[in-house]
């Protein structure tokens, strides 16, 4: 017997009030929060672990759009891709691109002698900043080579 799909209707989605997860089929769920907020979730297993990937709130993403998004994610899963890991990696790359340098005020905070830090603590903070700068410089060099 085949698994049920497209179990939810637009009316059922709007009437859902009880907190919990309502299954539409093929990994698509409507999550109703304790406050009544509704959002779409794509649920899948990767290496034995259960993952929930948010697709957006109901007021922004319709039932049809959520089904299309879930279909695209299922296709990526068939190709062996982990969509949540890819989303996190893209988000981290964007964050690194935005924060490509360590702000000077953070360096001043760490080296400020008026702060109530021990010398050992300031040394650990300086070492951390140096490592962060090295990682940022490495990422910049890799990005420049790719361009």
Q: What is the pLDDT along the chain (147 residues), one digit of tens a residue?
A: 567 788 999 999 999 999 999 999 999 999 999 999 999 999 999 888 999 999 999 999 999 999 999 999 999 999 988 888 888 888 877 776 666 555 555 555 555 655 556 777 777 878 888 888 888 888 877 766 665
Asked whether residue 92 is assigned to any structural domain, the reply reads no
Domain that holds residue 64: 10-81
Question: CA–CA separation, 138 vs 42, rounded Å?
Answer: 35
Asked whether residue 94 is assigned to any structural domain, the reply reads no
Element (H, E) at 119: helix 119-146
Question: CA–CA separation, 110 vs 104, rounded Å?
Answer: 10
Claim to verify: residue 41 and residue 71 sit in the same structural domain? yes
Classify 54 as helix, strand or coil.
strand
> pLDDT at position 91, please?
81
Domain count, the chain: 2
Q: What is the CATH number of the domain that holds 26?
A: 3.30.160.390
């Amino acid at each position: 017997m085949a698994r049920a799909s497209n179990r939810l209707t637009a009316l059922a989605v709007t009437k859902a009030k009880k907190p919990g997860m309502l299954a539409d089929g093929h990994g698509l769920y409507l999550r109703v929060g304790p406050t009544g907020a509704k959002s779409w979730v794509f649920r899948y297993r990767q290496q034995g672990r259960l993952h929930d990937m948010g697709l957006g709130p109901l007021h922004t993403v319709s039932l049809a759009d959520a089904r299309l998004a879930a279909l695209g994610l299922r296709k990526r899963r068939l190709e062996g891709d982990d969509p949540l890991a890819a989303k996190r990696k893209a988000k981290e790359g964007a964050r690194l691109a935005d924060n490509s340098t360590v702000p000077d005020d953070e360096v001043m905070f760490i080296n400020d002698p008026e702060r109530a830090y021990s010398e050992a603590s300031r040394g650990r903070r300086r070492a951390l900043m140096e490592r962060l700068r090295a990682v940022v410089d490495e990422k910049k060099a890799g990005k420049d080579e790719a361009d």
